[in-house]
């Protein structure tokens, strides 16, 4: 690309960037539009502004429990919630982001969202605790800003009636907010901002990587800053996020609140280059290199070539690989080498009998014991090493059954993925198996939250190693709770905003030794409404099934048992 053409693109990007960020004063002058955001509430529930399109309005209260005006406003909103039930969503924004036990102890009648570092309050230009905003979730625009008074009730009545509110603002008698971090030093690009991007983003956002664009230097980050701001605020990135209030698994992704704040404030300050000569993003290798992490595998197999169309929403592709083993093999580790990482978002591999297909006994049974080798998702892609003294059995005569989930990339591409297997020299003492636990159902149309729950009781002692939620396009959330006999229930994993595009296996940081009689309870929900951006058709009922257009609710439990 010529330098002149690059300069034109950069200027356009910088103009869009400056317009999207603005300053506090500019936003206050024209605060009709609001940005999307997502936060967790005191129960771990996920709330994203743009995912309330099935409501006429969202009411957001800036809340500080030490502020009498805010407490009074919460009481008013509790009354209004009864009046406008089903039409309006009411939420409280905890501007101090207290812990969940504290938030629950307040006893509010509406969900309390923890606003870490006050990033959402700041983006909405909230000035006082007790301030109320009424937001149009379809247009992401402001209907009303003011107090919890008659003007608020009148605005809501007008919105629900399909009319324009008479009052766009009202008087607030609350408690002033201070944004201390805004007045502090602007984060430095070289030493603070770029290292965050390198750590959390560069593995996918590089040339020919899984990300749709590359961060290969300061100017590329500046050009994509509006998008970066959006996906940070609505928690779309980094992918595979879990609720960090519980145990954080090694392969879960999320940005610490302090890192989000640094990125946001750097962008709001105009994204200055700073004086540091070093550009960490420019030093990231353009191409990802692959090495067998454990050395040359004992057995290497290439998948059949898959041709990925240039455009379109793609269903799963399946491949079966015959294995030449005439005696049992015990896998101690494996590693995937993706052929075309730009398009492969998920790959799952099961070990199945020669006469079986990928789904095996899952087609007939809501729970069964299976041999799951593992899964691939874009990212660092290290080798998966099973615990000492344990392995996955490949019985003689069995084969590998693979499921690929591809995304189109704008031009036709071909993928041949390589799998490396490492074997135990002698059979281990424990076998690693994976148990799908599921239920069959039909989703009703236009329903934003349809809840389901399944459970599995261990008949014998085992060591629980990993968990994997599995739904399709309408999946909303899933949680795994462990209930040991005579003990308090423990949440092992919560995926509050399930994303069909990312289906990793979450390995527990601390594997759990479970006794016979221990139960894993799996709960979750689907969103079959227009508020779900991944939903191809919210007006249709959806049946249980294995195709991408159908739905499934399956929790996979991976555990080791004595042989």
Which pLDDT value is given to residue 232?
95
Angstrom distance (rounded) from CA 494 to CA 436:
17
Which residues pair with residue 405 across a beta bridge?
Answer: 346
459-493: pLDDT as tens digits: 999 999 999 999 999 999 999 999 999 999 999 99
CB 484 within 8 A of CB 514: yes
Please name each of the domains of the chain with its CATH number. Answer: 1-29+199-271 (no CATH), 31-181 (3.40.30.10), 290-428 (2.60.120), 431-563 (2.60.120.230)
Residues 319, 404: contact at Cβ < 8 Å?
yes
Q: At what angle do helices 68-83 and 150-160 cross, to 10 degrees?
A: 30
Q: What share of the chain is helix, strand, coil (3-state, %, to 5)?
A: 20, 35, 45
Sign of CA dihedral 541, 544, 546, 552: positive
Per-residue pLDDT of the chain (563 residues; tens, 9 = 90+): 433 333 333 343 444 444 444 333 333 333 389 999 999 999 999 999 999 999 999 999 999 999 999 999 999 999 999 999 999 999 999 999 999 999 999 999 999 999 998 999 999 999 999 999 999 999 999 999 999 999 999 999 999 999 988 777 778 989 999 887 666 789 999 999 999 999 999 989 988 888 889 999 999 999 999 999 999 999 999 888 899 999 878 888 888 889 999 999 999 999 999 999 899 999 988 777 889 999 999 999 999 999 999 998 888 999 999 999 999 999 999 999 999 988 998 999 999 999 999 998 898 888 999 999 999 988 878 999 999 999 999 999 999 999 999 999 889 999 999 999 999 999 999 999 999 999 999 999 999 999 999 999 999 999 999 999 999 999 999 999 999 999 999 999 999 999 988 889 999 999 999 999 999 999 999 999 999 999 999 999 999 999 888 999 999 999 999 99
Q: Residue 509: is it exposed, middle or buried by C-beta count within 10 angstroms (0-12/13-18/19+)?
A: exposed
DSSP for residue 158: H
Q: Residue 242: which of 549, 506, 518 has the closest Cα?
A: 506
- CA 359, 365, 366, 372 torsion: positive or negative? negative
* Separation of alpha carbons 363 and 351, rounded Å: 16
pLDDT value of position 164: 86
156-172 burial, b if ≥16 CB within 10 A, otherwise e? bebbbeeeebebbebeb
Question: Is 471 in contact with 500 (CB distance < 8 Å)?
Answer: yes
pLDDT in tens, 145-193: 999 999 999 999 999 999 988 777 778 989 999 887 666 789 999 999 9
Sequence-ordered alpha helix ranges (H) in 114-171: 119-123, 150-160
pLDDT in tens, 71-123: 999 999 999 999 999 999 999 999 999 999 999 999 999 999 999 989 999 99
Q: Are strands 390-394 and 430-439 parallel, antiparallel or unpaired?
A: parallel
Rounded-to-integer distance, Cα 348 and Cα 47, Å: 30
């Amino acid at each position: 690309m010529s330098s002149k053409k690059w300069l034109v693109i950069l200027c356009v990007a910088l103009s869009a960037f400056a317009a999207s960020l603005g300053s506090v004063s500019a936003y206050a002058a024209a605060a009709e539009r609001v940005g999307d955001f997502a936060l967790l509430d005191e129960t771990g529930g996920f709330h994203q502004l743009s995912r309330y399109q099935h409501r006429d309005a969202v009411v957001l209260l800036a809340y500080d429990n030490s502020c009498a005006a805010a407490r009074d406003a919460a009481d008013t909103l509790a009354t209004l919630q009864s009046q406008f039930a089903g039409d309006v969503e009411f939420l409280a924004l905890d501007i101090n982001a207290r812990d969940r036990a504290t938030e629950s102890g307040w006893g509010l009648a509406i969900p309390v969202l923890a606003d870490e570092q006050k990033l959402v309050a700041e983006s909405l230009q909230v000035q006082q605790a007790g301030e109320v905003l009424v937001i149009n979730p379809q247009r992401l625009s402001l209907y009303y800003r003011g107090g919890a008074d008659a003007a608020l009730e009148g605005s809501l009545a007008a919105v629900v009636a399909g009319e324009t509110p008479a009052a766009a603002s009202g008087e607030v008698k609350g408690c002033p907010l201070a944004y201390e971090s805004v007045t502090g030093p602007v984060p430095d690009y070289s030493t603070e901002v770029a290292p965050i991007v390198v750590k959390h983003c560069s593995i996918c956002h590089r040339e020919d990587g899984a990300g749709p664009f590359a961060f290969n230097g300061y100017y590329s980050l500046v050009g994509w800053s509006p998008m970066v701001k959006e996906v940070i605020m609505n928690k779309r990135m980094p992918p595979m996020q879990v609720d960090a209030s519980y145990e954080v698994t090694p392969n879960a992704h999320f940005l610490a609140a302090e890192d989000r704040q640094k990125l946001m404030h750097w962008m709001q300050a105009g994204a200055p280059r700073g004086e540091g000569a070093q550009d960490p993003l420019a030093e990231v290798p353009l191409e990802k290199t692959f090495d067998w992490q454990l050395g040359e595998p004992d057995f290497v197999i290439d998948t059949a070539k898959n041709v990925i169309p240039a455009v379109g929403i793609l269903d799963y592709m399946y491949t079966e690989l015959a294995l030449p083993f005439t005696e049992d093999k015990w896998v101690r580790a494996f590693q995937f080498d993706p052929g075309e990482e730009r398009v492969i978002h998920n790959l799952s591999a099961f070990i199945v009998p020669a006469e079986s297909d990928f789904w095996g006994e899952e087609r007939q049974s809501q729970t069964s014991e299976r041999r799951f080798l593992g899964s691939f998702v874009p990212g660092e892609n290290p080798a998966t090493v099973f615990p000492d003294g344990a392995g996955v059995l490949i019985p003689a005569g069995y084969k590998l059954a693979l499921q690929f989930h591809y995304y189109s990339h704008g031009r036709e591409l071909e993928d041949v993925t390589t799998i490396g297997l490492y074997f135990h020299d002698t059979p281990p003492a424990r076998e690693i198996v994976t148990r799908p636990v599921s239920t069959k159902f039909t989703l009703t149309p236009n329903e934003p939250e349809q809840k389901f729950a399944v459970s599995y009781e261990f008949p014998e002692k085992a060591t629980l190693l990993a968990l994997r939620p599995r739904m399709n396009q309408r999946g909303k959330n899933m949680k795994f709770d462990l209930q040991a006999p005579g003990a308090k229930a423990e949440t092992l994993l919560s995926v509050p905003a399930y994303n069909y595009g990312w289906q990793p296996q979450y390995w527990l940081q601390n594997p759990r030794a479970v006794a016979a009689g221990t139960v894993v309870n799996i709960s979750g929900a689907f969103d079959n409404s227009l508020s779900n951006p991944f939903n191809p058709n919210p007006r249709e009922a959806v049946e249980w099934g294995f195709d991408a257009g159908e739905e499934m609710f399956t929790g996979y439990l991976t555990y080791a048992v004595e042989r």
